[in-house]
Amino acid sequence: MDYIRVASVADVGMGQILPVKAAGVKLLLTQVGATFYAAARKCPHLGFNLCRGSLEGAAVVCSPHKAKFDLATGEIERDPKLLFINMKAKGAVT
């Protein structure tokens, strides 16, 4: 397996979301505790930039509609919601 350096440990502040690119793929990079996570930057629901979201533990929350994705698995922890309208997420984050 080939590895691509996208940042150093010092670049990733605890609880921050850092936008990076690896081989032309836009990713987010974050550190929660002693674990580093990389995930697709694009929310699978409507394509919003997850780097503009927030962290809740080891999950990233999309800011416009509050969908929540587990960073370890990519799975949906909370479906999107806009005001009072409940929606279904289209898939997991890669």
Residue 76's domain is classified under what CATH number?
Answer: 2.102.10.10
Task: Let me know if residue 61 belongs to a domain.
Answer: yes
CB 74 within 8 A of CB 66: no
Residue 76, domain extent? 9-86
Dump pLDDT digits (tens) for 15-71.
899 999 998 999 999 999 999 999 999 998 888 999 999 999 999 999 988 999 999
Task: Let me know if residue 3 belongs to a domain.
Answer: no
Count of CB atoms situated within 10 Å of the CB of 43: 24
Dump pLDDT digits (tens) for 70-88.
999 999 999 888 767 776 7
Q: How far apart are CA 81 and CA 78, in angstroms?
A: 9
**Domains of the chain: total:** 1
Task: Let me know if residue 91 belongs to a domain.
Answer: no
* pLDDT at position 92: 83
Q: Identify the CA nearest to 7 among candidates 38, 33, 32.
A: 38
Please give the model's pTM, rounded to 2 decimal places.
0.87
